[in-house]
Structure formats: C-alpha cells, structure tokens
Amino acid sequence: MENEHTGHRRGGWTFLTNHARVLIAIARDPGIRLRDIAVDCGLTERTVQAIVTDLQADGYLTRTRDGRRNRYVVAPGARFRHPAEAGHEIAGLLAYLAGPLSTQPTVPVGEVRAGQLRAGDVRNDTPDDREPRAAV
C-alpha cells in the first residue's frame, strides 16, 4: 500500500522532499490554496499546513491575506539548510523547476490581464474557485 510517507515499496525515495515540492507549488502559483497543494503533491492538507508553517518560520516564504485567501511570497535570497548546499540560494532550484521568481506585483485575485494565460493553462471548475491556475 502506498501513502505520503512510504511511497512505492521498492522505489520509495525521490530527489525532492515534501518541503521542496510545497515550495515549488507556491513559487508556481503564489495564490494557490493549501488543499490544491495537497492534491498536487500527494499529501494531506494538514501535512501541507505544517510544511508551510515550517517554511514561514525559517524565512523561506511570507504569507499575507488577500481577502479570504492567502498569498505567498518566496524569499529570493533564502539559502539551502543542509551544510553541503548552504552556500547556494534556493532561487536557482525554484527557477529551474517553477520558473523565475517574480519580484513584480501580482495581479489581484480574480483579475486576468490580456495574454496572461498560456497554452496548457487550466481553470479550476469548483464553484467557489473561478481564478485560473497554471497546469502543473
């Protein structure tokens, strides 16, 4: 049986930790909901909430309220925690896996600029979530 902790029995390890996956999801979509991160990463919502709390506490991201939603900003100068990579900023990994970190103001929730959506972008069809999200 497979779950968020064991993965496949024989090949259960991956190169990225759950913390990295959550941070990448946030870097791709700063307005993403925790429940959507959980689905995308194959984790429980409670696990994602704990990971986001860890990332905030250690200065990797900040959270602000935008109406009823949260918006996250990844700290561009944050460095890896492990001593082997401690001299490197996480921005390089995030740029490779999620695209460059934006320092420009984001479009307000629900507002889409002309030409902003690209081929492959999808719309979440749940009744309470009508804002576009990029395909992962």
pTM value is 0.66
Average pLDDT of the chain, as a whole number:
77
pLDDT of residue 112: 42
Cα 54 to the center of its chain, rounded Å: 13
Which tens digit of pLDDT belongs to each residue from 53-112? 999 999 999 999 989 999 999 997 999 988 898 889 999 889 899 876 655 444 444 444
**What's 14's DSSP letter?**
-
**Closest residue by Cα to residue 32 from 124, 127, 112, 125:** 124
pLDDT of residue 127: 40
Which tens digit of pLDDT belongs to each residue from 8-17? 556 788 889 9
Q: Is 125 exposed, middle or buried (0-12, 13-18, 19+ CB in 10 A)?
A: exposed
Which tens digit of pLDDT belongs to each residue from 119-128? 334 333 334 4
CA atoms of 56 and 7, how far apart (whole Å)? 26
pLDDT of residue 78: 93
The CA angle 66-67-73, to the nearest 5 degrees, is 10
Answer yes or no: are the C-beta atoms of 84 and 64 closer than 8 Å: no
